[in-house]
Copies of this chain bind each other. A is one copy, B any other.
Amino acid sequence: MKLPSPSKLKDIAALINCQYDGSDDHIITGLNEIHMVEAGDIVFVDHPKYYDKALNSKATTILINKKTECPKGKALLISDDPFRDYNKLVLHFQPVSYSMKQISDSAKVGAGSVIMPGVYLGNNVTIGTNCVIHPNVVIYDNCHIRNNVIIHSNTVIGADAFYYKKRADKFDKMISCGRVVIEDDVEIGALCTIDKGVSGDTIIGAGTKIDNHVQIGHDTQTGKMCLMASQVGVSGVVKIEDGVTLWGQVGVKSDIHMGKGAVVLAQSGVGMDLEAGKSYFGTPAQDARTKMRELAAIKMLPDLMKKINA
């Protein structure tokens, strides 16, 4: 997320009452999770395994639980609990407030769009022109629906990321401050969920068509003209290029890249990056022809075992 206006290191440090290493006037313009960081952002890191990744990322301020050498041109915020303090900053810059109206006062609906009964539009939601939002759809705060979009009944856009930090006796929730952006000409079936980004945008690319019961995790971004059949589940932070097709009940692990035009056959489980233009099948998903050869070989296996045992 972008801060409402650029802030100084000194002032941010005061908000979370922590030490810092850097110029008082070092400028901070945003707050982002490691997958989404840009120059100007704060990123947080609390595990030694990821220190180097965070220090060398595009983020120019690192909220960290260790005194370490500050990379040139960057600044450190030194906290005993970066996760807690990151959440504190998120809530400071984007305080939670629940609109208690079906259509919030700050929601905007474009010309020619139909908002059917029972729909909930949260704070700052925008709906473009010529959309149809079917009954009982729920759109959480700060989500954006562009033009000519159809969303079928009881779909939920912008619920929180499924993202927790395990403590000894509880899970601490990561506060999601990102958004969902649905581009032009998208159609989304009934009973789908598209979660908001943790700090960035979950994006459904223009012309993409999504069937019923589909789950799209936080910060996942699809290209243009993708197809997702019913009951597909895509985890968070997945990057799907243009023209990808996922058939029914496919599952996709987090942080995967799917090349342009890749096709995943029904019920497959995708656990690795997919190449452009290729077809995949199986759990775990692999090249579809390789998988078919394995299935053919398995069919002959019981007889082979019988012969070997005889």
Contact = CB atoms under 8 A, between A and B. Distances in A.
A285 to B, nearest CB: 10
Interface in A148-194: 152-154, 156, 159-160, 162, 164, 169-171, 173, 185, 187, 189-191, 193
B98 A159 contact: no
Contact of A297 (B132, B217, B302): B302
Given A102-B118, A120-B135, A213 B211 contact: no
B118 A118 contact: yes
Interface stretch (A23-31, A45-53, A83-91, A229-237): A229-237
Given A230-B217, A248-B233, A283-B267, A156 B152 contact: yes
Interface of A is mostly: loop
A251 B251 contact: no
Given A136-B120, A162-B230, A225 B294 contact: no
A187 B170 CA distance: 12
17 contacts: A118-B138, A134-B138, A135-B138, A152-B159, A152-B160, A156-B190, A159-B190, A162-B229, A169-B225, A191-B191, A211-B215, A217-B230, A231-B233, A251-B267, A266-B283, A283-B283, A293-B302
Interface of A: 98, 100-102, 114, 116-118, 120, 132, 134-136, 138, 140, 152-154, 156, 159-160, 162, 164, 169-171, 173, 185, 187, 189-191, 193, 195, 207, 209, 211-213, 215, 217, 225, 227, 229-231, 233, 235, 248-249, 251, 253, 266-267, 269, 271, 283-284, 293-302, 304-305, 308
